[in-house]
Amino acid sequence: MSGVSGRTGTTGPQGTDGALAGRRVLVPHGGDWGRRVAALLAEHGAEAVVVPLIEFSPPDDVRPLDDAMRRLAGGAYDWLVVTSGTTVTALAGRVRAPAGLVDVLGGAHVAAVGPGTARVLERHRVTPDLVPAGERSARGLVAEFPAPAGPASRVLVPHSDLAEPTVVDGLRAAGWRVDDVVAYRTVAGPQPGAELRAAVRDGDVDTVLLSSASTVTNLVELVGVPPASTVVCCIGPRTEAAARAHGLEVHVVPAAASAEDMVGALVRHAADHPRRPA
């Protein structure tokens, strides 16, 4: 499986009359997620500055993941629970079946934590059976997950090495037998160049998106603390807490943790806080 990463670069703007026209927005990692966010920002007139504060690598030992995938293909699980698009990419990278991930589900139902993860699954021809209709988060997924049919009912939960135990603990508490396995590692990206670091610290990059606690830490350590004038948008409460712990003021937190909701919340914030003419 190859790592999922991106290079520092800029995208857009595609339009000049959108709510984000003239704004330079730091996107904290590349890959499919970064490209999707950059495209969404460009639709609203912003320039996306993609900076890989985090990158994704295979586990140090892939054997537990490969063993779990073989059990999945053999029909050992009632459900496969996926909590990020990166997890989907990691699983697909371990599959050797001709049709890819859809060929190794072994009859298991599939749950996705939210619509962003569902879209990545669908690109691999997997239609999830469950996407939370209410809170689109690990907690929301646990709340809407069905009860086990019996004591042998079994779930596979692949995840990042830094994942919170919300899903695993919640499903176990509900009576499911849960196999959890690391699907990928989150590692720090390379330090950006001096020009980019200066642009962030001087406020020339006027908006920063933060998609995980790791991106907060690496922003501070690899780039530096942005000025108070920078709009900080965090994908969810855990990331917000990490940002505040590093002394950052947080201006935007979407109601749901997806790329689309993140950009949508940023657009609404920009509309409510228009820039003063220069």
Q: Residues 106, 125, 12, 20: is their CA dihedral positive or negative?
A: negative
Helix ranges restricted to H, 155-236 = 166-173, 194-201, 213-218
Q: How many CA atoms lie within 13 A of 185 on its CB side?
A: 9
Q: Are strands 177-188 and 54-57 parallel, antiparallel or unpaired?
A: antiparallel
Q: What is the mean pLDDT of each run of 10 residues along the chain (278 residues)?
A: 36 58 93 89 95 93 96 97 93 86 95 90 96 87 96 96 94 98 95 94 95 94 94 93 96 88 94 74
Q: Which pair of tokens denotes residue 47?
A: 């320039």
Rg of the chain, C-alpha, whole Å:
19
Q: How many CB atoms lie within 10 A of CB 271?
A: 10
**CATH classification code of 9-53+189-272:** 3.40.50.10090
H or E element that contains 155: strand 154-160
Question: For position 7, what pLDDT does the model report?
Answer: 35
Q: State phi, psi for 8 to the nearest 5 degrees.
A: -60, 135
Domain locations in the chain as residue ranges: 9-53+189-272, 57-186
Helix ranges restricted to H, the chain = 31-43, 63-73, 85-93, 115-123, 138-144, 166-173, 194-201, 213-218, 237-245, 259-272
| Equal CATH topology for 9-53+189-272 and 57-186 | yes
Question: For position 238, what pLDDT does the model report?
Answer: 87
Question: For position 226, what pLDDT does the model report?
Answer: 95
Question: The domain at 57-186 falls in which architecture?
Answer: 3-Layer(aba) Sandwich (3.40)
